[in-house]
Chain A
Amino acid sequence: MKKYILQSIRLTAVLMVLLCVIYPLIVAFAGVFSNGDGGGEKITKNEKVVGYALIGQSFTRPEYFWGRPSAVDYNAAGSGGSNKGASNPDYLKQVSGRIDTLLKYNPSITKADIPADLITASGSGLDPDISEQGAITQIKRIAAYRKLDEKLVAELVVKNTEGPLFGLFGPSKVNVLKLNLALDELKK
């Protein structure tokens, strides 16, 4: 027994050097050569960081495309989903409220136009994307508030839609931050 204890402690120490020092340092070194130098890819505007490519941020003004509802209000210091069950009555009231808000700000659309992702909270609370339909639903509102041609905004949505991986796997998506930045560019 004593033999095993001593061996266990020594083996633990040796493996710690290998697994907790050498291994992560190799990964950290390689990460320096990735986009964002291993600290996460940042998006800049006028040489100022305005966000992370992968982290969604809160858009509430009517002249911007809105992202998904977030259980943590896009506070990226943490993360979290709503964890509401499908049959929870309070939750269903909340969803119904979101539908009403969307209909109020986008008077031209009907309920059938609203995709599920615009009225449900994401898993992380930091989802950077919405579905293509989620962007299309908002085109008329954006065009009206910005006094832009609808076609121009629609083109922008198409340009910012990322298709499935290799054109084959998974859903299409629109990065809300990138789309909104492109929208701001359009104004000039």
Chain B
Amino acid sequence: MNTELFGIIATYLLTLMIAIPLGKYLAKVFAGEKVWSDFLQPFESGIFKLSGINPKEEMNWKQHMKALLTINLVWLVYGFFVLIYQDKLPLNPDGNPGMSPDLSFNTIISFVVNCNLQHYSGESGLTYLTQHFVVMFLQFTSAATGIAAAVVFFKAFRDKTTVKLGNFWDFFVKSITRLLLPLSLVVALILAFNGTPTSYEAKDQFISVQGDTVNVSRGPAAGMIAIKHLGTNGGGWFGVNSAHPLENPNYLTNMVELIAQVIIPIAMVVAFGIFIRRRKLSWMIFGVMTIGMLLLLIPTISSELGGNPAIAKMGISQATGAMEGKEVRFGPAISAYWSTVTTIISTGSVNSMHDSTMPLTGMWQLLGMMINSFYGGCGVGVLNYFIYLIIAVFISGLMVGRTPEFLGHKVEAREVKIAALITLLSPFLILAGTAIANYVFTNHGTADWAVQPQNWLNNPRFHGFSEMLYEVTSSNANNGSGFEGLGDNNILWNVLTGFVLLLGRFLPIIGPIAIAGLLGAKKYIPESAGTLKTDTLTFGLMTFAVIIVLNALSYFPALALGPLAEYFTMLK
């Protein structure tokens, strides 16, 4: 048992040891200062030349958003058709079929927005071509999109007053060449030498010891598994993601995959403070995020190590904790850590089945995704946190009776309105989406779809409600994990979550960038005795309180109907 807890502590400490220097490095890369990786410059110039891009052309925040949305639209259209016609394209050794239009719609949106919801199973739903040219490609580029957007936001606060926020393509390409690609190579090689397949060979067949004929799915997975974690994407090569023994062969690879998914979100927070020359602010943000994470993590570990009370009643001791849906080589402790990490930072990869975790664990997972900014996804974590921060600035301003300010810029009605709208968006999408799903489940149970609504749920009663709530919450957070018992490959879920994904991705990127762009263009007011300081402990507590109050008010009723109700029923 102790070795399992040591595993968690070591993993987190190693994460920090890599993430903090990485943050310093990133701040330099995006500020254009000298770094060791500058030898890649000629190579990047080549990419820009071939693409007809001048990386020195300065953009304002609106031009940035136009560039971002345009390239994302190109990917949407391209991927939609490739997925439908994948059966007619090369690199399909297992002869897998093309996708139905609604599944393709859902899948392509899901990968463009960095969610990776996966209403298909990789072994039978994709070909090696689409695994690489659609899925893996977007895992790189959607992560780079998030990072580039965050850098635009950083830029707005670096100088006192500015509308010139650098070049989007420059940030985007450098996110790949200086960060994602080199790190992916390292992680992919570690995985390859621990047993993850890398070759393009088709399914294998063997006769087992007891004489059964067994087919084994494989394929060039190592490269994709590396970027799926580094880019906080989470979409696995195989259906069960990182619970699959080829996708996550042993405890070491499990640590590597866990570290890989957290380093960039933490590094971005560190980079923020260095980039805008206010390190104390970023330590305050990091502190709030870490405390938030611990508050979700500790009860999760405790409920998983405690085992399933219903099985305990049968007379089974469960010394190793709850094992349903978990793998022996990881054990419940690190699986609990994984489930917290993957839900707070929007990766959504899993190494155990969340549907089978204890009811309260399910609640902490849901809450992690609802808050979505304790570290948060690649780049977007900082942006999500910024919205809470603006609300906190506004409320504090009201409390002391002054015009609220952030980093020397007045926060006025327009900015607060944007922040308020973005804050309201999440509960609206999650609750309305869950309500629609419940309505269809109850009133149109026999609709003639690929999966009939009455057969959606893998579990009855409160847990069944949680399955639907989880699916919509995961889509809105662009997380991608699921209570996978839910039969989600049918027209309602594909279309519903498709729209939730799009809105839950792009509005929370555009909103903070717009606020930052507007603030950055305003006159700089030097700090005085009357300035509300945002890098103090008091203000950190204030932001934390805002996060808790907003989310508790929005989601308590839904959580009470799902995981809480299930928990209390089991106590009886």
Q: Could you say which of A30, A74, A76, A130 contacts B217, with CB atoms under 8 Å apart?
A: A76
Q: Which residue of B lies closest to A133 (CB)?
A: B319
Which of A30, A61, A77, A124: most chain B CB closer than 10 A?
A: A124
Q: Mark B208-225, 1 if CB is under 8 A from A, else 0.
A: 111010111110101110
Instruction: For chain A, residues 55 to 91, give those with C-beta under 8 angstroms from any C-beta of chain B.
Output: 55-61, 64, 68, 74-89, 91
Q: Count CB-based A-B contacts (< 8 Å).
A: 376
Could you tell me if B47 and A19 are in contact, using CB atoms closer than 8 angstroms?
no
Bound-state CA distance A77–B240 (Å) is 12
Q: Could you say which of B78, B188, B216 contacts A77, with CB atoms under 8 Å apart?
A: B216
- Is residue B483 contacting chain A, with contact meaning CB distance below 8 A? yes
Instruction: For chain B, residues 157 to 196, give those with C-beta under 8 angstroms from any C-beta of chain A.
Output: 169, 173, 176, 181, 184-185, 188-189, 192-193, 195
User: Provided the pairs A7-B169, A170-B334 are in contact, do residues A57 and B214 lie with their beta carbons within 8 angstroms?
Assistant: yes
Could you tell me if B358 and A86 are in contact, using CB atoms closer than 8 angstroms?
yes
Q: Could you say which of A23, A169, A180 contacts B184, with CB atoms under 8 Å apart?
A: A23
- Is residue B316 contacting chain A, with contact meaning CB distance below 8 A? yes
Could you tell me if B244 and A124 are in contact, using CB atoms closer than 8 angstroms?
yes
List the B side residues contacting A142 at CB < 8 Å: none
Q: Mark B237-256, 1 if CB is under 8 A from A, else 0.
A: 01110011110011110110
Instruction: Tally chain A residues at the interface, Cβ within 8 Å.
Output: 103
Instruction: Tally chain B residues at the interface, Cβ within 8 Å.
Output: 119
- Is residue B308 contacting chain A, with contact meaning CB distance below 8 A? yes
- Is residue B58 contacting chain A, with contact meaning CB distance below 8 A? no
List the B side residues contacting A84 at CB < 8 Å: 324, 355-356, 458-459, 485
Could you tell me if B215 and A79 are in contact, using CB atoms closer than 8 angstroms?
no
- Is residue B75 contacting chain A, with contact meaning CB distance below 8 A? yes
- Is residue B327 contacting chain A, with contact meaning CB distance below 8 A? yes
Bound-state CA distance A83–B354 (Å) is 8
Bound-state CA distance A121–B217 (Å) is 20
Which of A9, A45, A114, A117: most chain B CB closer than 10 A?
A: A117
Bound-state CA distance A116–B314 (Å) is 11
Bound-state CA distance A26–B137 (Å) is 16
Which of B74, B78, B124, B358: most chain A CB closer than 10 A?
A: B74
Could you tell me if B123 and A12 are in contact, using CB atoms closer than 8 angstroms?
no
- Is residue B417 contacting chain A, with contact meaning CB distance below 8 A? no
Could you tell me if B71 and A88 are in contact, using CB atoms closer than 8 angstroms?
no
User: Provided the pairs A76-B215, A84-B458, A125-B240 are in contact, do residues A4 and B71 lie with their beta carbons within 8 angstroms?
Assistant: yes
Which of B254, B350, B485: most chain A CB closer than 10 A?
A: B485
- Is residue B405 contacting chain A, with contact meaning CB distance below 8 A? no
Q: Mark B258-269, 1 if CB is under 8 A from A, else 0.
A: 000000000000
List the A side residues contacting B203 at CB < 8 Å: 77
* 3 smallest beta-carbon distances between A and B, as pairs: A31-B198, A83-B485, A123-B243
B residues bordering A, Cβ < 8 Å?
A: 3-4, 6-7, 10, 47, 50-53, 66-67, 70-71, 73-75, 78, 121, 123-124, 132-133, 136-137, 140-141, 169, 173, 176, 181, 184-185, 188-189, 192-193, 195, 197-201, 203-204, 206-210, 212, 214-218, 220, 222-224, 238-240, 243-246, 249-252, 254-255, 307-311, 314-331, 334, 350-353, 355-359, 458-463, 466, 483-485, 566, 569-570
Q: List 6 A-B contacts (CB under 8 A).
A: A18-B47, A28-B198, A75-B214, A119-B311, A128-B245, A177-B209
